[in-house]
Structure 1
C-alpha cells in the first residue's frame, strides 16, 4: 500500500455512488447503507450551511452512540466543519471549559444531557442547539434528517481539520488535539494492518465515538469492504451474545475490558463465535493467554496517541506483553532525560517520528506552550515510558507525568485536585493512582482539612460526584493531618500511601453493588 495522506469524504462519496446498497453499519441490528448515510450526511451538511455554518466552523457533539452517530459525524465532515466530540460523562467546569475553549458554532446534544449542558454555565444559545433523541420538533436532528437536502460542495482534503479531540493534560486543563481528515484516514489504514482485516469482516463497535478508539472505526468500511456492528454501549453480560448475533470477526478492547469479560461465568458457547482477532491497548501479560485460550481468539496489542493518528505500533508477531513494532510510516526511539538514545531494554521516553507529512498532529488548539513541549524538532515527545528490545519490539511502561489511567481514560491530577481544592472544608489535596480491581488504576485522593474543620469522606465524595465525570471521581479518599513537602512546598506524592485499606472506599461504603448491577458491569459502565 502506498502511504499517501488523503481525506476520506471524497472516497466515501465515490463508494456511496457506486455501491449505494452496500451496508456500511448496523446499529442494534438496523441496517445503515452507504446511500442512507450519504443522504443523511448531505442533509445535515446542507441544513447547517443554511443556518450560517462556514467551512472551518466548529460543531460540538455530546451524544451516546445511536443510529444518528454516523450521520452526525459524516454530516459535519461533509460540511467542512470541525467536530468537537464531548465525553458524555462530562459535567460542570470540565464541560464548560471545553465549550468555552472550542467556541462551537452549533452544539448537537442528546436530550438527556440538556440539563447538564445548561447547568455547566457555558451559556449555549438556544438557536445554536440541535437536540437528538427527543420530540421531533423543528429544531431536532430527527426533523432535520427528514428534509432530504442535496449537498454538492467539494469534499475536504487530507490537511483540512476534521476534529478537535480533547485529551486530559497532565499538569493543566485538557488540550485540544488538532486532528486532520488525513490523520483519521491514516488511523483506518493502521487498523487495517493491525487487524489483518479483509473483505466481508465485521467489526463489533461498542466504544463511544467521542474517543479516538471509536472514531477511527468510521473509516473502515471506506478503506475495505467491511461492516460495523454497532451497539449503544458495552455490556459484559450481553457482550458475547451481541458478538454472536452480529457475526463479528473482530472485537476491540481498552482499559479493563478483557479482564471484565474474563470474570464473566464460563459458558459452553465461549468459543462459539466468528471472532478471529481481539485488538486494542492495555492487555496485561497475565490476561493475554487466559483470554486467548478461553475464547479462542488472537490478541493483537497496539500503542498510540491521538496526536499520532491513533496507532503508532502494532503487535502482529504474538510477543506476549509487547505493543509491537512501528507502522511503516513511523519510527520510534527511546531517549533518556537528556535526549540521548537508550540501549536495548533500557527505559526512557517514547519519541515518535514520521516519514509521512501530516501523520503527526500540528498542535493543540490555542496552546502554543503545550505544542512546543510535545513537538520538538518534528518529533512527538509522548511523555510515555517505554523500552525497545533487541528485536525492535516496543514495551510500554506507563506515563512519565502526573496523570492516572483510569477506566480507559487519562485523568489529570490537576483536574481533580483543582476541583477538590474548592470544597469549603479542604485546605489542600493530592491525587495518585493505585492498584485497581479491574483495568489500569483507581484514583486515591488525599485531603487535608482547613484548620479547625473536619472532613467526612462520604460527604466529600458526594460533592465530587456532582462535579466530576465518573472516570475522574476518586474511589478512595484519605484524610491526612499534613503532607510531606519539598523545600518549594510541593507535596511529595511518591511518599503517599498506596494502601487500599487505610482509607474510605466509595465502592464498599457507598452505593451497594446490588443497587447498580454487578461490580464488573459498574466498572465497565464507568469506562464509557
Structure 2
C-alpha cells in the first residue's frame, strides 16, 4: 500500500493551510523565554514570501542552501520555503567549527548560507575558499551594518504568492550530514516523498490527532525533530511547540505551559531530566507519550514514568532510514528494553557478515528493507561507493548490531564497530556498559577497545561517577569480574567528568578512543 502518492511538502502545507487556516501551527520560545505564535495561514504566507526571496536571489531548483541556525522560526520557514521552489536545505550543527563548515559548504556546493550575526566570525576565514557561495543572509538581525542581508526585511518586501516551480515527490528536499563518527560526514539525501512517508508513519504509530501538540526541544537540524515531530504534526493538522534550547530543569514546565501532549527525547536528555531536583508539580502535565531513541536502563525508564506520569516509548531509527523501522507499539505489549517491532512500510532482518539471516537470539547486523527515495534515503551525495555499500537490493545496512528475541521484538546490541575483539572472542561494549550502569556509583560509562599486542584488543571503560560517589578502579573491575565472563572484564577504568557527544547526545567513542591512544603514546 502506497501512503505517499505524488505529494510534495508544498502540497502538504497547502492542503493543511486550506483545512486549518486560523489554527495555531507553530509556537516558539527563545532563550529569553519570549513566545511567538503562527497560524497555518501565517506560516504559509511567510514560507511563500521567503520562497520568492530565494527566487529573486537566483536560487534554482536542485541547488543547495545551508542553514546554520539554532532552533528558531526562521529555520522552519527556510526549510519549507526551499522545498517550495525545489531547492535543497542543508541544516548544520551550530557547534560545528569553521573547518567542519568549510567541508559541508564546499561538498554540498551551497549557493547561499542563512545564519545569525553571532556566527559570522566563523565564516570570515573560509568565505574566500567557497566560490559557489554567493551570499550570506542573517536571521533575527537587528543592526544596521548588514541591513541588506536581513532576512526579515527581504521577506517584508516580497510577495506571498505561491511559487509554481514544477516539483516531483522524489525530488531531493534536504541533505542531512551524518555526524561523521568514522570519517568525513556524508550527505544523506532526503526526498519530498521521504518526508511525506515519515509523517504518515509517525502520526499513525502514535495515534496523533489534530488536537495534539508536539514539543520539540531537540535540534531542528537533526532528523528527529524534522522527521518524527514536525512531519507527523503537519500530516494530521496538529501543532508544534519549539524551544530554542533544551532545558532539563524546565522540560515539563515548558510542556505544561505549551499544553504539549507528545514529546521526543534521546537517552542523554532523559538522564539529564532525572538528574534535576524533582518538582512534584512536574507530574501535572498533558503529555500522553514521549518516544525516545538510544538506551536507558530499566531503572531510569521506570523512574521517569513514575515521576512524570508519562510513558516512554522506545524506537529505533537513523538519518538514513528516515522513518522509524522499529518501534514499541503505543497500544498492546510494550517491551521496555527492546527497540520494538517493524512498523508500516518496512521489513527488518538480522544478518551475519555474509548477509545471511541469523537464527533467533543470535547477534548480527540490523538491515532494513524499504524503497530508496521513498521510505529510505535516496543515497549519499557525491558518494556512489558508500551508497552502494549501504543500500544493497533495497536493504539498508545500518552498521548496528542487534538480535531478534523469541518474543518477536528486536533488541539493540551495539554499533558494529563497538564490537571489541578480545582473544578471538567478540565482546559487545553495550553489555559491559549495562553491567557498569547497575553499579550504584556509576552515572554513565563508555567502553572502548584499544590495541593489545597479545589479545587483539584490551577493554577500557571510561566512567562518569555519580555525584559524591567514592569508587575506585579496583572496585569496578571486581564488580564486573563477578558479573561478566573473564574475557569481557575491563582491563582498566578511566574516570572522567564528561564525554564528548554529538548534538543529539550520542557519545563520540571515536574521540574517546583517539584521546586514549594519544595519551598512551606519550607515556
TM-score if structure 2 supplies the norm length? 0.78
- What is aligned with 2:78? 72
- What is aligned with 1:198? 209
Residue-by-residue CA offset, 1:19-57 (whole Å, 9 max, x unaligned):
321211111232111111111111111111111111001
Query: In the aligned structure 1, how far is the partner of 2:77 from the partner of 2:200?
Result: 22
- What is aligned with 1:145? 155
1:330 to 346, 351, 355: 346
Query: In the aligned structure 2, how far is the partner of 1:324 from the partner of 1:390?
Result: 13
2:461 to 498, 503, 518: 498
* Structure 2 counterpart SS, 1:495: strand
- What is aligned with 1:24? 25
Residue-by-residue CA offset, 1:186-223 (whole Å, 9 max, x unaligned):
12122213322122011111111100011123323321
* Structure 2 counterpart SS, 1:44: helix
Query: In the aligned structure 1, how far is the partner of 2:364 from the partner of 2:444?
Result: 20
Query: In the aligned structure 2, how far is the partner of 1:65 from the partner of 1:8?
Result: 20
Residue-by-residue CA offset, 1:68-101 (whole Å, 9 max, x unaligned):
2211111111121000111111003222111111
Does residue 57 of structure 1 match 2:58? no
Moved over 6 A (4+): 433-440, 443-446, 501-506, 522-526
2:390 to 370, 374, 380: 374
8 Å Cα contact 1:329/1:356 also seen in 2:
no
1:345 to 336, 353, 361: 361
Does residue 8 of structure 1 match 2:19? no
2:379 to 351, 363, 374: 363
Residue-by-residue CA offset, 1:381-409 (whole Å, 9 max, x unaligned):
111001111232111112102699xxxxx
Query: In the aligned structure 1, how far is the partner of 2:376 from the partner of 2:409?
Result: 21
Query: In the aligned structure 1, how far is the partner of 2:309 from the partner of 2:284?
Result: 9
The Cα shift of 1:237 comes to: 1.5
Does residue 165 of structure 1 match 2:176? yes
Query: In the aligned structure 2, how far is the partner of 1:390 from the partner of 1:254?
Result: 27
Range that drifts further, 29-38 or 239-248:
29-38
8 Å Cα contact 1:257/1:439 also seen in 2:
no
- What is aligned with 1:449? none
Query: In the aligned structure 1, how far is the partner of 2:401 from the partner of 2:252?
Result: 34
CA RMSD, aligned part only?
3.1
Does residue 390 of structure 1 match 2:391? no
What residue ranges of structure 1 are gaps of 5+ in the alignment?
Answer: 405-432, 447-482, 487-491, 509-518
Residue-by-residue CA offset, 1:162-181 (whole Å, 9 max, x unaligned):
11111034532111111101
The aligned runs of 1:61-460 (5 Å cut-off) are 61-120=67-126, 123-124=129-130, 127-135=134-142, 137-149=147-159, 150-154=161-165, 156-216=167-227, 217-284=229-296, 285-316=298-329, 317-354=333-370, 358-401=374-417
Query: In the aligned structure 2, how far is the partner of 1:341 from the partner of 1:445?
Result: 27
8 Å Cα contact 2:67/2:75 also seen in 1:
no
Residues 8 and 438 (structure 1), Cα distance of their counterparts in 2 relative to 1, 3 Å cut = farther
8 Å Cα contact 1:99/1:122 also seen in 2:
no
TM-score if structure 1 supplies the norm length? 0.77
Residues 225 and 14 (structure 1), Cα distance of their counterparts in 2 relative to 1, 3 Å cut = closer
8 Å Cα contact 1:15/1:222 also seen in 2:
yes
Residues 12 and 355 (structure 1), Cα distance of their counterparts in 2 relative to 1, 3 Å cut = same
Greater relative contact order (Cα < 8 A, sep 6+) = 1
Query: In the aligned structure 2, how far is the partner of 1:396 from the partner of 1:101?
Result: 33
Query: In the aligned structure 1, how far is the partner of 2:183 from the partner of 2:502?
Result: 27
Query: In the aligned structure 1, how far is the partner of 2:288 from the partner of 2:255?
Result: 12
Residue-by-residue CA offset, 1:316-368 (whole Å, 9 max, x unaligned):
13111111111121000001122221111111000110268721222101111
How many residue pairs get matched? 447
Query: In the aligned structure 2, how far is the partner of 1:263 from the partner of 1:524?
Result: 20
* Structure 1 counterpart SS, 2:148: coil
* Structure 2 counterpart SS, 1:184: helix
Residues 392 and 119 (structure 1), Cα distance of their counterparts in 2 relative to 1, 3 Å cut = farther
Residue-by-residue CA offset, 1:119-168 (whole Å, 9 max, x unaligned):
35673578411111223612111111212412331463320101111103
Residues 444 and 484 (structure 1), Cα distance of their counterparts in 2 relative to 1, 3 Å cut = closer
8 Å Cα contact 2:16/2:237 also seen in 1:
no
8 Å Cα contact 1:387/1:396 also seen in 2:
yes
Residues 268 and 168 (structure 1), Cα distance of their counterparts in 2 relative to 1, 3 Å cut = closer
Query: In the aligned structure 2, how far is the partner of 1:439 from the partner of 1:330?
Result: 36
Residues 237 and 154 (structure 1), Cα distance of their counterparts in 2 relative to 1, 3 Å cut = same
The Cα shift of 1:17 comes to: 3.3
* Structure 2 counterpart SS, 1:256: helix
